Amino acid sequence: MTEGGDAHDWVSFYDSQHSIYVNARHRDVHYRTIAQDILPYVPSRDAAVLDYGSGEALHAGLIADACGSLVLAEAAPSVRAALTARFAKNPKVAVATPEEIAALDDECFDLIVMHSVAQYVSAEALDGLLALFRRLIKPGGTLVVGDVVPPGPAPVFASLALLRFGAAHGFLGAAFVGLLRTLASDYLRLRKALGLSQYAPEAMIDRLAAAGFTAKRAPRNIGHNQRRMTFVAFPTAGIPRNGG
C-alpha cells in the first residue's frame, strides 16, 4: 500500500472551481455511469442507502428511484450546497456532512457505498471509516468500496482510461485537451505532493476483514476505469460491530 496525503487538501480541491472534468459531457456521463453501476447493489425498493463521499452525484435520482431512502454524505461545503439544491424536491434524498453520519445510530443502512474516496485518505483514516461503516451497516447489509487504486503508475492508466471513456462517449478531443490542461493544474500538483493511497487486492480484503467484514473483489469496478477495483463486503457473522 502506498499512502496518500492529507484528505483536507483534497476536500479543498474538490470544493474549488476545478477542471477535473474536461467538459459538461464528461461530467454528465461520469456521474451517470457511477449511478448506473451502483444500481445493481441496491437490495430492495425500501432499502436505506448511504453514498459516502458522493461528489456531485448528478444522477443520484436514479438510485433514489430504486430504494427507500438515500443519504449523500459529502465533505466539501460547496458541493454539499449544490446537492441540497439539486435534490431539494426529492423526499427520498438527504444530504449530510461526514460528522452527521458519524453521529447516527447503529445499523442504519442496508447498503453503504464509498466510491473514489479510499485513494484520498490515509490507511489509518480508511480503517476509521470502515469501522464506522461496520457500526452503521445492518445485519445482512452490503458495503461497496469502489475505485480502489492498485499499486503501479496510476496516472498513466487513468489517462488511458479517460481517453477510452472519451472515445466511447463523444468527447475524445476534449479529453486530449483536458489531459494537457491537467499538466498545469492544482490536481496534478496535489497528486505529486500527496500521492494516492494504493492497495493490492489482498491488502484491501485484509483491511475489510480487520474491520469485521467478509469481502471479495467485484468482477467489475464502478465507473470507467477498469484497472481500479471495487470490493463488496458483508458483516462477518459472529464479529460484533465496533463498540458492540
The per-residue pLDDT for range 6-41, each reduced to its tens digit, is 566 767 766 766 567 778 888 899 999 999 999 999
Q: Does 2 map to a domain?
A: no
3-7, 39-43, 117-121: segment of lowest average pLDDT: 3-7
pLDDT value at 120 more than 60: yes
Whether residue 227 lies inside any domain: the answer is yes
Kindly report the pTM of this predicted structure. 0.85
243 lies in some domain: no
CA distance 244 to 237: 13
Please report, for the domain that includes residue 197, its CATH number. Answer: 3.40.50.150
Tens digit of each residue's pLDDT (9 = 90 or more) over 158-196:
778 878 877 887 877 776 677 667 666 665 565 656 678
User: Which phi and psi (to 5°) does residue 139 adopt?
Assistant: -55, 130
- Of 49, 21, 16, nearest to 169 by C-alpha is 21
Name, in order, each residue with C-beta under 8 angstroms of 164's C-beta and a sequence gap of 6 or more. Answer: 224
pLDDT higher than 70, residue 242: no
Residue 186 lies in a domain: yes
Of all residues in the chain, what percent carry a pLDDT higher than 90? 67
SS3 of residue 38 by DSSP = helix
In angstroms, the CA 148 to CA 196 distance is: 10
The answer as to whether 244 is a domain residue is no
Residue 238 within a domain? no
The number of distinct structural domains making up the chain is 1
In a domain? residue 237: no
In this prediction, residue 174 carries a pLDDT of: 75
Q: Is residue 165 in a domain?
A: yes
Domain with 163, as residue range(s), is 7-232
Higher local confidence (pLDDT), 209 or 159: 209
Which residues contact residue 82 at a Cβ distance below 8 angstroms, ignoring those fewer than 6 apart? 56
* Average pLDDT of the residues in 118-123: 93
